[in-house]
Amino acid sequence: MSLNQLTLIEAFEGLRQGKFTSEELTRDCLKQIKKFDSQVKAFVTVDEAGVISQAKAVDEKIKNGASLSPLAGIPVAIKDLFCTQGLKTTASSKILADYVPPYDATVVKKLKDNDAVIIGKTNCDEFAMGGSTENSAFFPTKNPWALERVPGGSSGGSAAAVAADMCLYALGTDTGGSIRQPSSFCNISGLKVSYGRVSRFGVLAMTSSLDTIGPMAKTAQDNALILQYLAGPDVKDATTPSEPVDDYSQAIVQNIQGLKIGLPKEYFIEGMDSEVRQAVLDAAKKFEELGATVVDVSLPHTEFAIAAYYIICPSEVSSNMARYDGIRYGLSERQSGDLLDIYLTSRAKGLGSEVKRRIMIGTYALSAGYYDAYYKKAMQVRTLVKGDFEQAFGEVDVILTPVAPTPAYKLGENINDPLKMYLEDAFTIPASLAGICGLTIPAGLAGGLPVGIQLLAKRFDEKTILRAGHHYQQATNWHKQKPSIK
């Protein structure tokens, strides 16, 4: 087995035992990128010189007997929405194509403080707006399992990089499913944390009341370890409360005997792929074999979640995107001396069609006379969706659902039908509206393509879904399946 195929935990143990060096591990990842990324297109930027230098520095510390974090010396890829000091952060947009931030996002700083080796920045839908990574201004990313198919989005580059063993784990963002859906499509384990669990300072905002940051890795156990170092309050992000951070790695080893798991009838919809449905039901049986109890639950307002999300999200996008005006940073078209003309020309040239679509929808929904009818009403629906989950979690510990109604679809299949693309988020959006946590783990194949399941738990209860996911992976081998590109 090549070193780049190791899990994070395996790599940590190997480094500490002196079986290999961080430099050797990192070079294996770089070799994999050189071999396959011309096909997959997972990365926007690869910091080859910088990453070797980082790895050598860690090896020196190990040699000198320094006490190091389990993340030390291990290559990580970062979605190109995170500010990285001295390394380009583009949001996969022309408007920021050459932007180099003067500071690090809080989570990037945490990784650096723990001697993580940052290998590069991954492709995404422009400003995270999309579910297929086809909306990148640079190029679409392809699914390592089938190069004619999408990897999911918006964190598709991160998912593809982990699936193709170009790094050992990655960071992504999840606003309406952008970690969970690509994790399902690419057969990796991805964690959407509770709203406020991880600081978003220095991460380019899309929808401020929904955006979350989380790890994407090869196992639930790896995600538990990574979250330990990312979670917690940050004075630079007012949405992070001083909620205690659990010892996730310890919590996940406790057995799941007696765990109550709910299956919501509203998530088994007409038109859903039969093999996807079967994978979820098979997973429910496996959990019962492991000692959990599976019961039916109802989340009655699920059908209204997409409509509410696609008012709330564009409305906040409209507000957040106003800062990209061609004046302070990024692309600036200044041929005309007229200020309005600079704004209009810079934004017209710098922003893609999906970003413009959401800005227009959001501006309309927030405009005088329409705010009450649209944004306010959507927020009321959001409260109802949140109430559904609160009621369900009064009866069960975890909710088990599909992640997407189908496996990965073909590149170009939905790109000209935004509504069809939006409907792909039907199973991930409700948890986002409620602010709760969700974990995607591999659970089968449909027509040779990966199928993931989604485990949901109440806000700040990441330890329970990580525990359930870990025990499922101890009893199954779906997460060990590798794409054909290997």
Residue 142 is among the residues annotated as catalytic for this protein? no
Report the 10 Å Cβ neighbour count for 271. Answer: 7
> Under DSSP, is residue 128 helix (H, G, I), strand (E, B) or coil?
helix
| Catalytic site residue from 136, 155, 158, 178 | 178
Residue 79 is among the residues annotated as catalytic for this protein? yes
From the list 29, 213, 44, the residue with the least C-alpha distance to 123 is 44
Element (H, E) at 294: strand 293-297
Question: DSSP label at 372?
Answer: I
C-alpha 76/C-alpha 158 separation (Å) is 9
Exposure string for 67-96, b = 16+ CB within 10 A, e = fewer: ebbbbbbbbbbbbbbbbbeebbbbbbbbbb
| Catalytic site residue from 22, 41, 79, 318 | 79
Q: How far is CA 92 from CA 78, 79, 118, in A?
A: 13, 9, 18
> Under DSSP, is residue 265 helix (H, G, I), strand (E, B) or coil?
helix
C-alpha 410/C-alpha 425 separation (Å) is 16
Sheet holding 398-402, edge to edge: 43-46, 117-122, 75-79, 169-174, 212-217, 189-192, 437-446, 449-457, 398-402, 260-264, 293-297
Residue 2 is among the residues annotated as catalytic for this protein? no
From the list 410, 393, 132, 399, the residue with the least C-alpha distance to 287 is 399
C-alpha 91/C-alpha 411 separation (Å) is 21
* Residues in Cβ contact with 481 at an 8 Å cutoff, skipping those fewer than 6 apart: 187, 442, 445, 450
| Catalytic site residue from 154, 155, 183, 194 | 154
Q: How far is CA 419 from CA 267, 293, 307, 422, 433, in A?
A: 19, 37, 11, 5, 19
C-alpha 29/C-alpha 281 separation (Å) is 36
Which residues have a catalytic role annotated? Answer: 79, 154, 178
